[in-house]
Structure 1
């Protein structure tokens, strides 16, 4: 079974060399953690995770995880098993049909539910609010992006996108404005008909769903990662040769994709994650054929 989920966060106030925090799900259905050096490239890091003899957790694996910061606290989001009541003797019980979308660190808190086939997630945040995005639906006709705001018990649903590829990964970023009403959040997803990536902005009164022309060649259900730095969005995806590519959005326009130099191709089951640091964007993934080793490749992509 693969450690498919990986999500990164950064704390610039932490000691030098320990500012990037890498979270991942383990075969024991728990959450693993690594400190990553933000000043240099390194694949060797001390891992903190429950051992094989530890209690089995509830974090779904393989599945994606997401991380964002809420007022300086790392929030890690993922999917968990819904608690099952003890079946009555002789019960011909069916398998669960839904999992919980939940905060899995620093606390455990279910936020919403989705069908068991939906295992992709993204998150972003403003200074005071965290937004979590996930899919519902069982085929391309009804696959829909949903949003839940941490602290709000009423998830919202966006039904004005083009048809979404079932199992599409998601990525999200937040563009601040002069006031909260001027801010925008963007969700990246993969379209069903063309396989191209889309950038969807659900702001009331200004809903926008743009095809990213430069994303041609994205492999079906490519993992996605995005970060927003100094007015530019940096989007990462995997092409049909299992190599990483990036596209920059500068002043609202997506540029052509470029190859990202990496030490390995990306494993089929791996997620991508990216976090910005002063020396570039730090990208993490599992290399091809290494899905069961919990070893993440670390790439520093210099910003343009």
Structure 2
């Protein structure tokens, strides 16, 4: 039997409603015991790292999860992380960056508790374990949800409550669970750069923009001594004029700045000049985040700026490199 280690962190899949809303109360061991066919087919072991909704997880929790995954992966064929859905995509991406293991890491959870009508947790758990044990899935981090397998870098939560909660945009699915196993659409492998696993000590602030946004939030962050800034810009990475002025002040002060797009498809590009155009921002030292959404760009910048050795941050976000954006791997199918 394949050996699969479960790393449990809480989330809706562990949730019960005690009268004041859903909270995670079931341990990872209890969740496994509720699906007895898993123990009949796989050698299952469990580590409980924390017991929280994913909206309450901190960067300290992220590093604790990564440490646990790295430790247990040494003796397992695969690792499954049980996680809340709110920030599952961020944790998956962080693990893809730093886990550094030859064993696949598959995150899953649920949109409904076991007490709800048509709960989805057990099916997601069984599917995630099957993926982690599959011979074709050799490395990298993934999200398995609603019978679909997503690469960690590409996946995002697209619906707050529907069971089809996740998609991978133009990257597309890695695989789909069908009645006779997994149907692969492309080769399962990591789409991320590899960064050192370390405590996330850097201070990185995320700021969003919209019509008329000023740069006060950015200036305040710089005054507070942040190490990095991620700005969710407009279109191809453009920002309002006062935000651009604040970003120039930040780069002059040595703060690493990454500009992303709030669009769900497409990439940042240095096309527009003017006071807040992405071309002008790049000239002042800001890094364009390519296709990464802001929340994942923050995770990447946190990991890079916290590393003990100097990381080429610009290369990490460079769309011309497969390490930064996985473009070479996307078309590499089996």
- The answer to whether TM tops 0.5 is no
Which has the higher Rg, Structure 1 or Structure 2?
Answer: 2
TM-score (structure 2 length as normaliser): 0.27
Instruction: From the two aligned structures, give the one with the greater strand fraction.
Output: 1
